[in-house]
Structure 1
Amino acid sequence: MRGGEASRCPRAVRDGMVRAPDREEPPRVPTDPLTVMCLALAVGLFAFLLAGRLGIPAIVPLLLFGMASGPWGLGLVRVDTLAQPLLRSTVLGAVLVILFEGSLSLRIDAFRRHGGPITRLVTVGALITWVGATLVCHHVLGLAWRTSLVIGAVLIVTGPTVVIPLLRSVRPNARLREVLRWEGILIDPIGAIAAIVTFEFIIAGEAASFGPALLDYLGRSAVGLVAGAIGGVLIDRGLRRSALVSRELATPFALGVMLLTSVLAESVAHESSLFAAPVAGVVLAALAPPRLHEIERFNGEVTTILLAVLFTLLAASVDPASLRAIGWRGALGLLLGLQLVRLVSVVASTAGTSLTWRERLFLAWLAPRGIVAASVASIFGTELVRFGLPGAERIVPVTFVVILGTVIIQGLLARRVGQWLGVLAPPQRGVVIAGATPFGVALAKALQRAGLEPVVVDRDPRKIAWAEREGVVVYEGDVLSPATYADIDLENTGVYLAATTSDKVNGLAAQLAREILGEKAVMQLPSGQHTFDLLQSGSAAMRSPLAFGERFTLTALDDALLRGGAEITVREIDRPMTAGALRASQRTDFRPLVVIDARTGRPAFVRSRGVTLPPGKVIGVEKLPPSLLPDDHECELAES
């Protein structure tokens, strides 16, 4: 670093972002790598728990707790004692798993529908962001051009670890969800490789030139693309051969092959692994091998652990004094400037597409930075400080200011912005019924009359043909396949009913649906085959809550509809009332099954025992045989 600037920097900053502060204090906790990692995990998991309790993005408490627990705070997580090669390898390995996990949720058919804006956002939009962020850092923060160029490359990324959870909570329309999800996954390796090429361009000094740097970028990207495609195909081939890869080894096999091909790519071209991991995930998702859902679920759990450790370690390496040095004026100018750059990027990238101006404004609003930006900034910031680049010590704090600012401001206001622009998804009016049985089809027809959007799932061609003749929307697919639920878009589903003729299939199908919709929105209808024996034994086949109470079974309802003259009808109530009061007022044996709340428009199952029905439409069954007539007691809603 050059004279005047170097003398003004604290020693901890001059010598690297993760050195201990100048004051010499005996460590208050053990500083061996295992203890540091375990303490980082404990702090990170506590942050996740708090975020879930408060309903805020987890990255906010992760960053705050990480800085508070680091060497400049409470001294719990002594990240300054970790060797730099160990820290860098830990960060890279964790980021690879996170990118792989996020890419498994991408669907090729969504890219076919919205490929134009997605492609331009990660190419034209990335270039505009790079140039614009560089200008903002130079003119607003007064950083040197070369330092600004590195930060501009780092800030290209948005980050699936922040974007995807926000999409689940905000729920913009399907088109925006797909564009933002694809952009968040693809932009990370693009920004990371841009940062490494810029880093090497700066290191090369006067010998650097644009042509070789561009070829270097394209070469690294190509290595990652090829390695990722090979990795995805190898995982698919292995999973399709149960004699080679058993069910227990499916997830370790997939992770192992992905990491191996990514590391091999890394050995050929630095940072190409950041392309290899997501490409492997996209290829694997497109090929849809057996047990893909199990891999995705396990990777999601591992990702939570890795994020807890990674964010805590990276945040603990930042001196809070370096953030204060930027000042609130500098932070505000930086965030406003980047928001303007995002607007220009989105307008240029979506011109001529089918996106409305409201959707473009929402895209322009939502671009929070996440773990990849923090990781890349920490790695290259430290290296450039050692190289002596003027202002390099500000790369990490500037990046963390952007992460905190974009997550807090954009994340907390995203739903309000979406409501103002009118781009949020409509109420979850979808209903999925697993099983094209007489009861399932009759219920779907009644739900259609009530204004909902039911879909019946079955794979029996005869049942499908009959259901379609009845005017019901049917999806031909396996109720136990994750690909089925990806195609029918469970995110727009309010309730799910597992109602096939097999309790075992119902239990497994309900388990898949619960992981997306949550416990309350998924119900299971007993088939009638040894149902009560299963209930008493606590069988895994009957783990889900029972729809409509224990009195009703699929066999009994099918028989009542086909031979007993029962009907499924739609009634409307204008005030809260119990099921007993509804029957008394309308002089019928009407038994409510589903209620549509007039205020929210969302459906909910009705179960025996409990609360009052809200005003709205009620779908139920009447003209029941005596054995199915309900007791005169209230009902309990299983809300979505």
Structure 2
Amino acid sequence: MLKLEKFKQRGYMLLSIGLIVFLGAISQWSAWKTKIPVIIFLLAVGFLAGPLLGWLDPVEVMGQEVIFSIVEISVALILFDGAMQLKFAEFKEVLSGLKRILTLGVIIHFVLIVSAAQLIMDVSFGFAALLGGILIVTGPTVIIPALREANMKQNVARYLKWEGILTDPVGAIVAVVAYDVIVLSNKTEAFDVFSALMLIIFTSFVLSFIVSFVLKKSLTKGLIPEFLQIPLITSLVICSFVFSNQIQHGSGLLTVTILGILIGNSNMDVLINLRSFKEDVTTMCISFVFILITASIPLEAFYRIRPSHLVFIFLVSFVLRTVAILLSTVRTEMKFKEKLLIGLYGPRGIVAASVAAVLSSEMLAEGIQVGELFLPIVFLVILTTVISHGILLKPLCKFLKLEANDRNGIIFIGTMPWVGDLALKLKELGIPVLVTSASWHKLAPFRKLGINCHYGQILNDLKSESLDINEYSYLIAMSENDSFNLLACEKFAPYLGHDNVYHLKQSRNFVHDQYKIDKRSYCVFVNNLELRYENLMKYYQYGWKFKDTKITDAYSYQDFMNHNSNSIVCLCIRVSGEVVFGSSFISPPQEGDVLISFSPKLEKMKKRVA
């Protein structure tokens, strides 16, 4: 009978895990389809499947110890993945303001939250300190996807990204120290708190540097086979987190964050595959953890929320962070509108939810009844900030004029001389241009012209996220290697869209024609459907040049076509700034539009090169 009961419990556990994974996948897809933050869907399905419908009861099936172990390891992997995205080169650009935000800003924000909690909700200092530690964090898992959609200026986006990733472990540490020192030990002396913080920081830095050093040496000397590199690194991250917590409670998250920064800024070959793998693991972890925690919250916990709690939640969500950012960044290089946007946008995320769940459970186990309020308050802050801040981000960027330039830039792959002429013409017209090559020597003429260049393996850099393409919406692959051009279009299509990637056909009757490979990305310009790489070279050698012509009321598009029958219309820059290629003219260019054409040097030259 006992064996049958265990079998039923095991079967229910597998069913619960399967349901969580399924709901997580559906939530991720729904978020992608609707452009709504995924956390909203995860919270909704968690509440629906857990407290409301009773399909999931993780505490009963798995037990709190198992749940919190899964949550802590998942958060460690999420923070490690986020830290790998932080680049020292970016840090130098935002150093002045970021130092203030991460030091003085965190302190002011913490003090404001603690004071508000005590004054408004009339709670103890220990409980207020716990809330302060948890709610000073922002959620990079929410912020980073939102930044891509908002088209924000890079400088402001970097502040938000760095702050979000670095304050996560800081907030968790503050909360853990507040719980261990103030709540459990009932010690409020500054020395006790300071010494606990210093032990955590020392442990985290020493352990992360040792692990990073050993890993780099092992990979450099070939001691780890390629097929074991990613599994071993993942195991090291988990072991570092667990071991660090065993040495000094609360230091694990800071350890994996520092480790992620060190590994992410190294030149190890494994980074490309590691980032891809970690991104997939992070997506799974976020889905699993949010549904697991949300489904574990009893519905009765929200019945204890009072009007004073709602006032506190409002202040935390919309006022206190703004005040902290504005005060901490006085006399920095940051502009007021940048400070205001950073202060007003601060959604909380996975770390706040996971740490709150763990500490709430521990408080209740210790008989501290106020712990019943801890998790509902934190979750309501998360829900409020994710929804409201997400809705307000784009209008705020527009109102404060912090939107990046329209994404109408063009990336050129190839360094033929006529690429330089076209890029220079576009630059003169205010269109961002990037010419890329793996040859430093071939990029020299473009650098002399003042054209923005990217030296490196562009496909690897795109995958590793070291290539900033926020300004660019189009790709034209014009290198000598047609197979590489086709591959580049395929790799850039998920980022720019299949309709915005083009490559130049090499020659007549090329192998792609023979095998009927998809030719939608061919660069087909107006009135020269057979424009090919070999012909373009001949035209350029005969003195053809790129020129711009503005369409006016007195000189229409038809007039231009009548007077320039030998020219090749390459693209049109609309009055709105949109770039339309010759093969994509849905409607003829209108008054105010600018045409870019490839024309013979002398108009009397009528003969085309075959």
* Counterpart AA for 2:391: L
Q: Match of 2:93, as an amino acid?
A: R
Identify if the C-alpha distance between structure 1 residues 426 and 571 changes in structure 2 by more than 3 Å, giving closer, same or farther.
same
> What does 1:426-465 correspond to in 2, within 5 Å?
426-465=405-444
Instruction: State the match for 2:586 in structure 1.
Output: 611
Q: Partner of 1:503 in structure 2? A: 482
1:59 and 1:622, CA in 2 relative to 1: closer, same or farther beyond 3 A?
Answer: same
Map of 1:10 onto structure 2: none
Which of 597, 603, 610 is the equivalent residue of 1:620?
597
Deviations 1:94-120 (A, max 9, x none): 112211221222111111121122122
Unaligned runs of 5+ in 1: 1-27, 630-640
Alignment CA distance shift 1:177-1:233 (3 Å)? farther
Equivalent residue, structure 2, for 1:25: none
State the identity as a percent: 24
Q: Which residue pairs with 1:546 in the alignment?
A: 522
Query: Structure 2: how far apart are the matches of 1:348 and 1:431?
Result: 40
SS at match of 1:568: strand
Equivalent position of 2:52 in the other structure: 73
Does the aligned pair in 2 maintain the 1:66–1:312 contact within 8 Å?
A: yes
Q: 1:591 aligns with which of 540, 544, 568?
A: 568
**Helix, strand or coil: the match of 2:596?**
strand
Counterpart CA distance in 1 for 2:31 and 2:164 is 22
The question of whether the paired residues in 2 share the 8 Å contact of 1:477 and 1:484 is answered with no
Trace 1:221-370 onto structure 2 (pairs within 5 A): 221-240=201-220, 244-246=224-226, 248-327=227-306, 330-370=309-349
CA shift digits 1:214-257 (9 cap, x unpaired): 212221122222333334444444555668442x5553343233
Instruction: Return the alpha-carbon distance in structure 2 between the equivalents of residues 524 and 450 of structure 1.
Output: 23
Cα RMSD after superposing both structures: 3.1
Whole-angstrom distance in 1 between the partners of 2:374 and 2:24:
23
The answer for the alignment partner of 1:150 in structure 2 is 130
Q: Give the CA deviation at 1:444.
A: 0.8
CA–CA separation in structure 2 for the residues paired with 1:509 and 1:233: 35
Q: CA deviation at 1:32?
A: 3.6
For 1:44, the equivalent position in structure 2 comes to: 24
Distance 1:544 1:220 in 2: 56
Instruction: Supply the AA of the counterpart residue of 1:389.
Output: I
SS at the partner of 1:39?
helix
**One-letter amino acid matched to 1:163:** I
Count of residue pairs the alignment pairs up: 592
**Cα pair distance change 1:104/1:254, threshold 3 Å:** same
Q: Could you tell me how far 1:537 is from its partner in structure 2?
A: 4.2
Determine if contact 1:429/1:494 at 8 Å carries over to the other structure: yes
Inter-partner Cα distance in structure 2 for 1:499 and 1:553: 10
Deviation at 1:275, TM superposition (A): 1.2
The answer to whether structure 1 residue 417 and structure 2 residue 396 are counterparts is yes
Distance 1:440 1:35, change over 3 A: farther
Give the superposition deviation at 1:367.
0.9
CA distance in 1, matches of 2:374, 2:130: 8
Q: Deviations over 1:328-378 (max 9, x none)?
A: 663244222453221221022211111111111111101110000000000
Q: Secondary structure at the match of 1:124?
A: helix
Q: Is the 8 A contact 1:597 1:603 kept in 2?
A: yes
Q: 1:430 to 1:107 in 2, by over 3 A?
A: farther
Contact 1:482-1:512 within 8 A present in 2 as well: no
Aligned partner of residue 432 in structure 1, secondary structure: strand
Asked if the contact 2:566–2:608 (Cα under 8 Å) also holds between the matched residues in 1, the reply is: no
Separation of aligned partners in 2, 1:462 and 1:116: 35
Cα gap change, 1:162/1:531 in structure 2, threshold over 3 Å: closer, same or farther?
farther
- Tell me which residue corresponds to 1:60: 40
Cross-structure match for 1:394: 373
Q: CA offset at residue 171 of structure 1?
A: 2.3
> Deviations 1:417-447 (Å, cap 9, x if unpaired)?
1211112212124322122112322221221
Distance 1:240 1:357 in 2: 46
**Counterpart amino acid of 2:264?**
A
**What is the SS of the residue equivalent to 1:419?**
helix
User: Is 1:176 matched with 2:156?
Assistant: yes
Give the conservation status (yes or no) of the 8 Å contact 2:84–2:260: yes
Supply the distance in 2 between the matched residues of 1:245 and 1:320 (Cα, whole angstroms).
50
- 110 and 620 in structure 1: CA distance in 2 versus 1, 3 angstrom threshold: same
Deviation at 1:35, TM superposition (A): 2.4
Question: Closer, same or farther in 2 for the Cα pair 1:424/1:35, shift >3 Å?
Answer: same
Shift of residue 173 of structure 1? 1.2
Tell me if the contact between 2:415 and 2:442 (Cα under 8 Å) persists in the aligned partners. yes
Gaps spanning 5+ residues in structure 2: where? Answer: 1-7
Match of 1:119 among 99, 114, 124: 99
Partner residue of 2:87? Answer: 107
Conserved? CA contact 1:494–1:603, under 8 Å? no
Does the CA contact (< 8 Å) of 1:104 and 1:281 recur in 2? yes
Question: Which residue, out of 548, 563, 569, partners 1:570?
Answer: 548
SS in 1 for 2:136: coil
CA distance in 2, matches of 1:442, 1:250: 45
* Partner deviation per Cα, 1:565-608 (whole Å, 9 max, x = no partner): 43322233469x999x5764544244333333322x24344436
Equivalents in 2 of 1:121, 1:66: separation in Å?
Answer: 33
Which secondary structure does the structure 2 equivalent of 1:426 belong to? coil
Q: In the alignment, what sits opposite 2:358?
A: 379
Residue in 1 aligned with 2:468? Answer: 489
Mapped to 2, the partners of 1:347 and 1:183 lie a distance apart of 15
Work out the CA distance in 1 between the residues paired with 2:100 and 2:130: 22
TM-score by length of 1: 0.84
Which residue of the partner structure matches residue 17 of structure 1?
none
Q: What SS does the corresponding residue of 2:571 show, helix, strand or coil?
A: strand
